[in-house]
Structure 1
């Protein structure tokens, strides 16, 4: 498989070539390029509907409201996140939001008491996020994320394009700052996630998310005290393994 420009999707150099070729484009221009030229009909936005998600969702709504938006409902989310999702979808007129949920049989077998997050958070993330997303991405060649370099030290070198196994991953907001995000919200009158006012700067599942303290990375409240920094959807080997289940 290759992009319309002839670059092979599985070649490790493809993402680097795309990042170098299109580094001068702004976020909106990158999105238009990816959706209309590079991966027409074969790209989706993966959104958490979290604290900063409204930026990309708004950009997508202005470009094409029918672009697929994949939302992972782990069944452990904050009620505020679900309400925020519904409010944003209605406000922005998004028409192809697909809610992904964990496999009921897997949950019954491995997490019947809904407490796996406490004993094995990696496996909990795998069955509630990684595997559902991996299966959904079989229908696409590329996907869009809202990750940014400022969010954590582990993301400081985040490129615009990444090779993600057999997919290309686009990070159009990689170079944005916290001030850029705030300015975009204000300029377009976008509503904040209700938990932001309580200092939840990165919002995941309720049991594994806590408020961020002054001076901490935006993602410091995720899996606090566990030495865990990612759920696995941004680890190519983990995501590829999930697609086989």
Structure 2
């Protein structure tokens, strides 16, 4: 069955199912599947769900080498706490970074190019050949994500399409908080310091009272996405 038809069927079947069931299906029925995690503010929810299904599930973490030290430590702490044994840390090749950003200043004048170099390209290379990947995208984040399905088709430029799974598509901040509290999961240390959405250190700032959760990402810029998510028209450019 073509992927479009397959994802439509899956969306009907799982429309009223809990997120945990979506994760189980993704990790057991979709072939080679990777969970891509930023180990950010809310990442521990999906990581915990995956660990309950299979502690050896493939988890991909992109180290842009511009992350907060707190994120790097949190990644190790969460993997240990949940018993995740297959966390794959990926980075841009040293030769590519030296050629395009040898002074680590690319983010100042071309943040899109910086994200492409340090995040998008390494991830797309890593995902070649997988049948599906799991993301933490949610409808409440707004923009193009407001109509997000549990299952959709990822069409990266120049690559074969694959299934993208969004188990938390229908969850809101209260759902996430309740799950974390119920399971006593470790929080990212920067959340308590006003960072509800956490990316690279140079491009992430604290969020003030009343601001949207992602207001601190690329503040005062038109940029709102790193570019790893692709729709039918290419990279998403919305929150």
Task: State the TM-score, normalizing by the size of structure 2.
Answer: 0.92
What secondary structure sits across from 1:181 in the alignment?
Answer: helix
| Unmatched runs of 5 consecutive residues or more in structure 1 | 1-6, 240-245
Does the 8 A contact of 1:141 with 1:167 survive in 2? yes
Which shifted more, 209-218 or 100-109? Answer: 209-218
Whole-angstrom distance in 2 between the partners of 1:115 and 1:235? 26
Partner of 2:16: 24
Whole-angstrom distance in 1 between the partners of 2:51 and 2:124? 24
Does the 8 A contact of 1:201 with 1:219 survive in 2? yes
Which shifted more, 156-165 or 192-201? Answer: 156-165
Task: Return the offset for 1:218.
Answer: 1.4
Task: Return the offset for 1:198.
Answer: 1.0
Alignment of 1:85-100 (within 5 A): 85-100=75-90
Task: Return the offset for 1:28.
Answer: 0.5
Whole-angstrom distance in 1 between the partners of 2:193 and 2:199? 14
Whole-angstrom distance in 2 between the partners of 1:13 and 1:125? 32
Does the 8 A contact of 1:152 with 1:218 survive in 2? no
Task: Give the CA RMSD over aligned residues.
Answer: 1.4
Partner of 2:2: 8
Task: Return the offset for 1:13.
Answer: 4.2
Residue 167 (structure 2) pairs with residue 175 (structure 1): no
Deviation digits for residues 123-148 of structure 1, max 9, x if unmatched? 10001000000001013111000111
Alignment of 1:108-187 (within 5 A): 108-165=98-155, 166-187=161-182
Residue 79 (structure 2) pairs with residue 101 (structure 1): no
Partner of 2:158: none
Whole-angstrom distance in 1 between the partners of 2:146 and 2:210? 16
| Unmatched runs of 5 consecutive residues or more in structure 2 | 156-160
Deviation digits for residues 193-215 of structure 1, max 9, x if unmatched? 00001110110000001111222
Deviation digits for residues 21-79 of structure 1, max 9, x if unmatched? 32121100111112112x13x10100000000000111111110011000000000000
Alignment of 1:11-90 (within 5 A): 12-37=4-29, 39-40=30-31, 42-90=32-80
Whole-angstrom distance in 2 between the partners of 1:46 and 1:77? 16
Task: Return the offset for 1:238.
Answer: 5.4
Partner of 1:233: 228
Deviation digits for residues 117-169 of structure 1, max 9, x if unmatched? 01100010001000000001013111000111112334211111111111110
Whole-angstrom distance in 2 between the partners of 1:228 and 1:17? 34
